Copies of this chain bind each other. A is one copy, B any other.
């Protein structure tokens, strides 16, 4: 499968309902009140959304502490990534990474260059800088999917400064930002540069658990915002994504609880995985964990777990990971315990 969460295809392996570890969505689900908000505002389906999305952008501006003039909204973060990667001719992309970056670059007939992580998914900053020139659109996911590694503030700044120096462009995909415990906020960090040569992607999809609503947003320089927004399709964001975006960011209690829950369960899983000698779990600061299989291939583990009602993400579709890696999401304690129990049985 190209993406996680495709439960339809495995119904022959298990009769009951799968516990889905393949899709890396906040296990707590969306903020509880969202359902009522959608129901109470259902009548809004009959009118076009505000063509300027004024309330949505105001809500984002307050949440991100960034000026409205720098905020782009889109039909999922994919729409924004698609627009931003056209800013230069050549895509420089980390390997392994989310497959959609290269898919969009291929659609645009762009030149694509892969840059491989070092051992344990470290980035050789000096080598990476050597690849960057004025034609470069560098996409960095922070944390990266599926490896879960994050960039240190100094690393990010070094890369950005090179990008800025040669007038390349950096797309920083922070779709999992809220799960992390990094000691910096890139929106704050790049404010003094007016977001020149950088677009910071965030999304409601993963942390706020609403992939099906399609709400993405980004922070970019003013000129890029105007340029992309002018070319966007009218009413590109549906009313329920619009409504959700006016509400979810204000739910500070939910945000705090989600962060704490995922942190605790991630640590639980990492600790338990360490007890299993036929795998290696990579460090994670987010809601998913990449696992290297030292004795089995992904298919063996996948089938073993699927027969027991657990769905994990095989990683051979990510370039360079071959068939000996799997990715698991952080779920509820009960589910996490079940996963560990079965893994220990292998």
Closest partner residue, chain B, to A8 (CB atom) = B50
Q: Which residues on the B side are within 8 Å of A240 (C-beta)? A: 212-213, 238, 240
Contact of A46 among B25, B47, B49 (CB under 8 A): B25
Instruction: Tell me whether A263 is interfacial, beta carbon within 8 Å.
Output: no
Partner of A30, one of B5, B46, B209, B238: B46
Q: Complex: how many Å from CA A3 to CA B46? A: 15
A89: min CB distance to chain B, Å: 18
- Assuming the contacts A8-B50, A47-B23, asked whether A213 and B233 have C-beta atoms less than 8 A apart, the reply is no
Which residue of B is nearest A76, CB measured? B235
What are 5 A-B contacts defined by CB distance under 8 Å?
A23-B48, A35-B42, A45-B213, A75-B233, A107-B231
Contact across chains for B214 and A78 when beta carbons are under 8 A apart: no
B212:A76 contact, CB within 8 angstroms: no
Q: Does A239 contact B (CB under 8 A)?
A: yes
Residues of A within 8 A of B (CB): 2-3, 5-8, 20, 23, 25, 29-30, 34-35, 38-39, 42, 44-51, 75-76, 78-79, 82, 100, 103-104, 107, 209-214, 230-231, 233-236, 238-241
The answer to whether A212 and B75 have CB atoms under 8 Å apart is no
Q: Is the CB of B8 within 8 A of A45?
A: no
Asked if B234 contacts A214 (CB within 8 A), the reply is no
If A3-B48, A25-B47 are given as contacts, then 10 extra A-B residue pairs at C-beta distance below 8 Å, sorted by A number, are: A25-B46, A38-B42, A39-B39, A45-B213, A78-B236, A103-B234, A107-B231, A211-B235, A212-B238, A213-B239
Nearest neighbor of A27 in chain B, beta-carbon distance: B46
CA distance A39 to B40 in the complex (A): 10
| Cross-chain contact A214 with B235 (CB below 8 angstroms) | yes
What is the bound-complex CA distance between A176 and B236, given in angstroms?
A: 20
For the complex formed, measure the closest distance between the CB of A87 and the CB atoms of chain B, giving whole angstroms.
16
How far apart sit A51 and B29, CA to CA, in the bound complex (Å)? 21
- Closest chain-B Cβ to A334's Cβ sits at a distance in Å of 18
Complex-state Cα separation, A341 to B102, whole angstroms: 61
| Chain B hits for A44, CB < 8 A | 212
Q: Given the complex of chains A and B, what is the CA–CA distance between A23 and B51 in angstroms?
A: 14
